[in-house]
Amino acid sequence: MILPSDQGGGPGNIRGQILSYAVLAPSPLNTQPWSVLCRDPCGIDLSLEKSRLLSHIDLESRQAYISCGAFIENLDIAARDAGYTADISLFPLSWPGAIIDPGQPVAGIELISDPGVVTDPLFAWIETRHTNRTIFKEEPIPAEILSTLADAAEQPFTTLGFSSDPSFRKEVAGHISDAVEVTLSDRYRLLEFLSWVRILRGSTHPHQDGYGMREAGLHGIRGWLSLFPLRLSPAGIKSTKARELLLKLAKKQAESAAAFGWIATKGNSRYDQVRAGRMYERVHLTAASVGLGLQPMTDILEPYPGMEKHYRMVLDLIGIPDTHTVQMLFRLGYSDSCSRSRRRAVQDFFRR
């Protein structure tokens, strides 16, 4: 498929097409925190855009780096489809640390024309993949589908697991609900959340980032009914009412999971986070290819005060040693698909 390009023709045109697929990657609250510098003749530097980081929710920018991994995976797959190999060097200029320097790219990528490159069938699912926040049906996931997902991705020092065991699901769902409560109990986190998830502002969502009520899983008559009291409530208590609604929704979402999946890494370096993001994107694309809904539920992975005990319990339940870090936790299940969140135009990502 030919997408709008960044430049008139030649390599720039291909680069624009490939980037159009890369920006369809998932990112926390759809912040799309990427910035891209195009180098001649066909190079791309990917960096993080500081103004788009979630300073209260994603305290250590771990989620932002995971989203860079997902961006790189999409880019790699789309490059193959266009007949190019993407030669990817992570952190080409310096060892990454806690502080983010936008001048130090997360990845330097060279696109090399390669007529013999092997294409990836997951390309077909880049435009379909989306986070599904609807309540899943009570329909079990066949074991062979879970093993297809388990085979979807391989990254060094990164593990992927799934469980659909009913008592496991019940316990994990309980901890996830408690974790969302911890997250939203902090006013700054709640306000940051509501500045990207625009459920207080009516049914239309004209923004090219964040998401609205439909993508949040509040659509149809049920969604409208649950948002109605919120709309009527006085301005001073709107965010408190929104919090109550979000807690109820998260509980229902977690309880309707037909299975949970997780990605864990041995360390927790920026390399680990990017690798986990690449793996996550492959799992999500594979889920899309088999018609399975997927929603990350990652509050529990954040080091907010009061979260540690829930995180430890989940580590115990999934049998991951506490020397490891769970980078992604997600629920899976069947439901009618919900709408996709939007993206900014590719040109908006270019650093001038």
Ligand X SMILES: Cc1cc2nc3c(=O)[nH]c(=O)nc-3n(C[C@H](O)[C@H](O)[C@H](O)COP(=O)(O)O)c2cc1C
- Confirm or reject binding of residue 133 to ligand X (CB under 6 A): yes
Q: What are the tokens at 114?
A: 């390669």
Instruction: Between 38 and 243, name the residue whose CB sits nearer to ligand X.
Output: 243
Instruction: Between 164 and 341, name the residue whose CB sits nearer to ligand X.
Output: 341
- Confirm or reject binding of residue 275 to ligand X (CB under 6 A): no
- Confirm or reject binding of residue 26 to ligand X (CB under 6 A): yes
- Confirm or reject binding of residue 252 to ligand X (CB under 6 A): no
- Confirm or reject binding of residue 105 to ligand X (CB under 6 A): no
- Confirm or reject binding of residue 299 to ligand X (CB under 6 A): yes
Options 104, 340, 344, 350; binder of ligand X; rule CB under 6 A = 340
| Nearest to 18, CA basis, from 32, 29, 2, 33 | 2
CB of 277 to ligand X, least distance (A): 7
Instruction: Between 42 and 61, name the residue whose CB sits nearer to ligand X.
Output: 61
| DSSP-assigned states of every residue in 252-270 | HHHHT-SEEEEEEESS-SH
Options 122, 297, 307, 318; binder of ligand X; rule CB under 6 A = 297
- Confirm or reject binding of residue 96 to ligand X (CB under 6 A): no
Residue 267: how many other CB atoms lie within 10 Å: 12
d(CA 352, CA 350) in angstroms, rounded, equals 6
Q: 48 with 36: CB under 8 angstroms? A: no
d(CA 334, CA 328) in angstroms, rounded, equals 20
- Confirm or reject binding of residue 30 to ligand X (CB under 6 A): yes
Options 34, 84, 211, 304; binder of ligand X; rule CB under 6 A = 211
Instruction: Between 204 and 208, name the residue whose CB sits nearer to ligand X.
Output: 208
| DSSP-assigned states of every residue in 163-226 | E--HHHHHHHHHHHHHHHHHHHTSHHHHHHHHHHB-TTS-S----SSSB-TTTTT--HHHHHHH
Options 20, 47, 63, 177; binder of ligand X; rule CB under 6 A = 63
Instruction: Between 131 and 164, name the residue whose CB sits nearer to ligand X.
Output: 131
| DSSP-assigned states of every residue in 51-106 | GGS-TTTSTTSHHHHHHHHHHHHHHHHHHHHTTEEEEEEESSSS---SS--TTS-S
- Confirm or reject binding of residue 61 to ligand X (CB under 6 A): no
Q: What are the tokens at 297?
A: 């539920």
- Confirm or reject binding of residue 333 to ligand X (CB under 6 A): no
Residue 39: how many other CB atoms lie within 10 Å: 12
- Confirm or reject binding of residue 273 to ligand X (CB under 6 A): no
d(CA 208, CA 191) in angstroms, rounded, equals 19
Interacting span for ligand X (CB under 6 A) from 162-170, 233-241, 259-267, 297-305: 297-305
CB of 42 to ligand X, least distance (A): 26
d(CA 5, CA 244) in angstroms, rounded, equals 43
* Interacting residue ranges for ligand X, rule: CB under 6 A: 26-30, 63, 66-67, 70, 130-131, 133, 211, 295-299, 340-341
